[in-house]
Amino acid sequence: MAVRVWDGFLTASDKASLVERPHQVWGYGERPALVLIDLYRWVFGDRRPASVADAIEEWPSTCGPQAWDALPHLTRMLRAAREAALPVVHVTALDPQDSGVAGWSQRGKRQTAAYASDAVKRDVLAHRYDIVDDVAPIPGEAVIRKAAPSAFHGTLLMSHLHDLHVDGIILVGEVTSGCVRATCVDGRSYRFKMTVVEECVFDRHEASHAINLFDMHQKYADVLGIDEVVAHLTASAARLPVAVRVQPSQSR
């Protein structure tokens, strides 16, 4: 990727420093897993909005059109991971209403926005953390619920990856500046080789998205374009025995 999403935010001094200290390539690892962060209904809503501001009253955690723009890339990434027989882990929120455990983020009155009816409100709140259909889990894929920004904090993610002998994580989801970054930092802290797929992560704000991708790329991960990552996984899939490959009907 010759042009990076963060290029327009860097100063001349920033660019000069990168010549002296270029990005360190981490690699995918020998046994990577795909981890999808917080791709639930509360972020997408039930229809594509014109903007974040247009959707925020009904969907307080919306990422607006950015979320919908990422969906085709996410489905492509998930399909490639399944066909390459990678372990796949879906991460979503632990609902305080069901668990009694308070979530890390409290948004005040916006969490009680007006709805068309009590029935609509009950439906939205009951299903807000359901993973959207386009990237829904299939049998055999782990689903982990968290109550903090990082997918590692207070969850079984580390134990699950350790059991599968995973040494690298391909990370996708939302938001770039929040739960994706927190999971990326913790993953690198645990010595996983981290890859963040640029088109498969998104945020409410362009600047936060771009600069957090830049920061992760400089310190913790390889931030790569989806074409490069899919090409790597396709080559990996081609080396698998036919019996191991996931069939198209299984990968949605």
3-state secondary structure of 119: helix
Residue 110, pLDDT score: 46
CA 36/CA 180 separation, integer angstroms: 9
Task: Judge whether 7 lies within some domain.
Answer: no
Is 101:147 a contact under the CB 8 Å cutoff? yes
CA torsion, ordered 180, 183, 186, 187, to nearest 10 deg = -100
Residue 113, pLDDT score: 55
**Average pLDDT of the chain?**
89
Among 227, 235, 238, CA closest to 197: 227
CA 193/CA 120 separation, integer angstroms: 43
Sign (positive or negative) of CA dihedral 56, 57, 61, 64: negative
Task: Judge whether 1 lies within some domain.
Answer: no
Task: Judge whether 200 lies within some domain.
Answer: yes
Task: Judge whether 171 lies within some domain.
Answer: yes
Show the tokens assigned to 205. 């704000």
Is 193:168 a contact under the CB 8 Å cutoff? yes
CATH code, domain carrying 174:
3.40.50.850
Task: Judge whether 2 lies within some domain.
Answer: no
The model's pLDDT over 208-243, given as tens digits with 9 standing for 90+, comes to 999 999 999 999 999 999 999 999 999 998 887 765
Longest dimension (CA), the chain: 59
The model's pLDDT over 148-204, given as tens digits with 9 standing for 90+, comes to 999 999 999 999 999 999 999 999 999 999 999 999 999 999 999 999 999 999 999
Q: Supply the range of the domain harboring residue 156.
A: 26-251
Tell me whether the omega of the peptide bond preceding residue 175 falls within 30 degrees of 0, making it cis: yes
Number of domains in the chain: 1
CA 140/CA 18 separation, integer angstroms: 42
Task: Judge whether 18 lies within some domain.
Answer: no
Task: Judge whether 128 lies within some domain.
Answer: yes
CA 7/CA 9 separation, integer angstroms: 5
CA 58/CA 110 separation, integer angstroms: 9
Bigger pLDDT: 78 vs 23: 78
Please say if the pLDDT value at position 11 is more than 90: yes
Please say if the pLDDT value at position 124 is more than 70: no
Show the tokens assigned to 149. 């920004």
Bigger pLDDT: 14 vs 57: 14
Task: Judge whether 12 lies within some domain.
Answer: no
